[in-house]
Structure 1
Amino acid sequence: MINKNFISTLAMTLVATASFAQQSVEYRINGTCPASVKTVYVMDIDGSRPEVIDSAKVEAGKFAINGKSDKDALLGLTTTKKDYRVFFNDGKPITADLTNNVLKGSELNTKLNAYDREVDALSVGLEPLYQQVAKMYSDEGLSQQERKNKLKELQPKIEAIDTKLNARKLEIIKANMDNLIPVAYLGDVIFGLEYNEMKGLLDDSRVYAKHPALNEVKRYYAIMAKKAAFIGKKFVDIVENDVNGTPHKLSEYCGKGNYVLIDFWASWCGPCRGEMPNVKANYEKYHSKGFEIVGLSFDSKLEAWKKAIEDMQLGWINLSDLKGWQTIAGQTYGITSIPASFLVDPEGTIVALDLRGDKLGAKLKEIYGF
């Protein structure tokens, strides 16, 4: 997803972070690891940019680390600075076996580690698939069509594993809403959730809701809350030009007796273009039943916008004022990240938002019955 951050949402996040207790607590870790390892690291995991905050030399496969960090900070123990065993800095001693990726400490951290290893086991098939994707793009001998064919073969396999992983992470979150464990997993699942489900999981009454490691999650939630405010309300009319410079009102298409998807996108937005085959497939399936799409672009260059429409063969009306992020479409509808979408019912009421992937097809099947 392409994001544009606003000072207001950042300020809100900082206020939420400040309200979470920031008391320094000591961590004490004793452990073992493979004899070939020279150094073990402790990392602070803030949800987006993990950084090393401590390290210890390994002697004969054993190590000990004592240090301080914020109380209940989400930390990681690692030998690679990449793959880490997560734990909360609750002040209880931890015993680590990094050969088998086992951490034992407080009841909370022992439980978290069990989930951590379970999630690892579910994701074991992903790395070979990612390696195949990387190899595919680095192989100069492959044609563009061969790459497309290979990606078409690999993508369903990746998505199948991701679906299982995210479903299990969501189960873990819902089973632990009285403790901090959801902090470790919410960032992985949040982008696939409907707003109402997010709202329930991030309610301020949750003990984890204001944890600093959820900064990015809370920022995304604030964006979604702003968009969700449009649900149940009539669409707001705007005027933008088509590719030929002819002005059109949104009301020419919405509120005219058909369901309309207002699709916010841009030619330079990779995730937007990646979603277009799905949007096209649903348009082709349901257009004869009255389903319409209005594309509202965040482009600023006419030729790039026109070329994208032609290249992807988008058969519906596309409008833009070519003002990039300052487009009237974004300003009117509070769009701070793309791709984004609103589904408008035949009377002109906004009934759903951000129907991407399978969600769009499922909603249209519910509406049209096939």
Structure 2
Amino acid sequence: MKRLAVTALVALTLASCQETPKGYVINGEVAGMPEGKIYLKSFRNKMFFDVDTAEVKDGKFTFKGEVDQPLLFGLATENMDYPVQLFVENTTMDVKIGDDGETITVQNSPVNTVFQENADKVFEDGYDIDSLIAKYPDSPAAAFYLYRYFTYQLPLDDLKTTRARISPALADCPYVKDLDGIIKQLENVQIGKTAPEFSLPDTAGVSVSLSDFRGKYVLLDFWASWCPPCRRENPNVVKAFNEYKDKNFTIIGISLDKDKSKWLKAIADDNLTWTHLSDLKYWDSEIPALYGVRGIPANVLLDPDGVIIAKNITGEDLHQKLKEVIK
């Protein structure tokens, strides 16, 4: 009996070792694409970067590798404008990409179950991100959604309360680390705080500092030529500038562009006749991060002493606030 028990224990141990995945395997299908290439892309700071390539044969492909923890990746063929997103974890996943190039289903992956169940819901008005975190406190997907879409929607106190629900087991998750960094930055740029100093090149490449404008009301306007909501808001900003530019008010446009020619063209096309600055680093720019900017358009209004007196005022709210503070 003892020998049988030992044998059974060894067999059980071997079975457990064999079941522990040492890496990921993505077995995928692409509808409507019998042949071609598909790219696996890592995600960082709203951007995707190629990390692997596979051949699509008879509509099927395979990726193999290993990740330190479940992380967001993208899959894209040469015909896709934007990658379809999924979490990659060290297991064997079955993936199907629809012929629309936008839908994706992932099986055999617990983290993707949470990710896919909420993929559309997070964009709905009134979505309760706090409930998602409370339900899945140890899910990287839930933490990702809080970091990616709600750091610029929730008031700081609400954001901190929801962050506190995340399990300590995710302390090393990059999305949680980034979330903590954003919270720290937001604490530094609350209304009543002195705006952080910075310097950036203008359109001619000359370095300009925020302190150069001390003594004026200043609207820091975060935007980009590639951002449709920004371009739609620009006429409203132009109207405000024209009304108050002779009343100790100015605007500093801070662009998240990466193509200088497109940046300059948008400035000219939209008649943006104020100071414009950019390091052309897209979302890797340090100044939006310094101000906790996670989505654009965004803005910060400063008084002549450089103190923040309003944030993210657009449309008629912008005009009402300027009328209120500029006598």
TM-score calculated relative to the size of structure 1? 0.47
CA contact 2:74–2:83 (8 Å) conserved in 1: yes
Alignment of 1:12-91 (within 5 A): 26-34=23-31, 35-80=33-78, 83-91=82-90
By how many angstroms is 1:26 displaced?
0.9
58 and 195 in structure 1: CA distance in 2 versus 1, 3 angstrom threshold: same
1:225 equivalent to 2:225? Answer no
Question: Structure 2: which amino acid aligns with 1:212?
Answer: P
CA distance in 1, matches of 2:118, 2:111: 11
Aligned to 2:300: 341
Q: Which residue of structure 1 lines up, in the alignment, with residue 115 of structure 2?
A: 112
1:45 deviates by: 1.4
Q: CA RMSD in A?
A: 5.4
Q: How far does the alpha carbon of each residue in 1:169-224 deviate from its partner, in whole angstroms, 9 at most, with x for none? A: 98274443222224554565368536616843784763467533577766665544
CA distance in 1, matches of 2:151, 2:319: 18
CA distance in 1, matches of 2:124, 2:251: 36
- Calculate percent identity across the aligned residue pairs: 15
* Offset at residue 109 of structure 1 (A): 0.7
Distance 2:154 2:117 in 1: 28
- 1:44 and 1:51 in contact (8 A); partners too: yes
SS in 1 for 2:57: coil
Deviation readout 1:110-138 (Å, 9 max, x if unpaired): 2313444x37xxxxxxxxxxxxxxxxxxx
Q: How do 1:239-258 and structure 2 match up within 5 A?
A: 250=215
* Counterpart contact for 1:41–1:54, Cα < 8 Å: yes
Instruction: Return 5+ residue gaps in structure 1 as ranges.
Output: 1-23, 120-165, 237-246, 254-260, 300-307, 315-319, 326-330
Code of the aligned partner of 2:132: N
Post-superposition offset of 1:101: 2.2
| Equivalent of residue 353 in structure 1, options 310, 317, 325 | 310
Residue 96 of structure 2 is matched in structure 1 by 97
Name the residue aligned to 2:132. Answer: 176
Shift of 1:92: 3.0
State yes or no: 1:200 paired with 2:156.
no
Number of the residue aligned with 1:128? none
Aligned equivalent of 1:258:
none
Q: 2-side partners of 1:175 and 1:110: how far apart? A: 16
The letter for the 1-side match of 2:311 is D
Q: Which amino acid aligns with 2:301?
A: F
Name 1:264's counterpart in structure 2. Answer: 220
What letter matches 2:25 in structure 1? R
Inter-partner Cα distance in structure 2 for 1:297 and 1:37:
49
Q: 1:62: Cα distance to partner? A: 2.7
SS of the counterpart of 1:45?
strand
1:52/1:341 Cα in 2 relative to 1: closer, same or farther (>3 Å)? closer
> Greater RCO between the two (CA within 8 Å, min separation 6)?
1
Name the SS for the 2:114 alignment partner. helix
- Structure 1 residues 282 and 296, CA gap change in structure 2 (3 angstroms): closer
Question: What is the number of equivalent residue pairs in this alignment?
Answer: 247
Question: Aligned in 2, Cα 1:353/1:71: closer, same or farther, shift over 3 Å?
Answer: same
Secondary structure (helix, strand or coil) at the match of 1:181 reads helix
Contact 2:195 2:308 in 1 (8 A): no
Provide the C-alpha distance between the structure 2 equivalents of 1:94 and 1:342, rounded to a whole number of angstroms.
48
Task: Structure 2: give runs of 5+ residues left out of the alignment.
Answer: 1-20, 197-211, 255-267, 280-286
Conserved in 1, the CA contact under 8 Å of 2:30 and 2:97? yes
Offset of 1:27 from its aligned partner?
0.7
| Higher relative helix content | 1
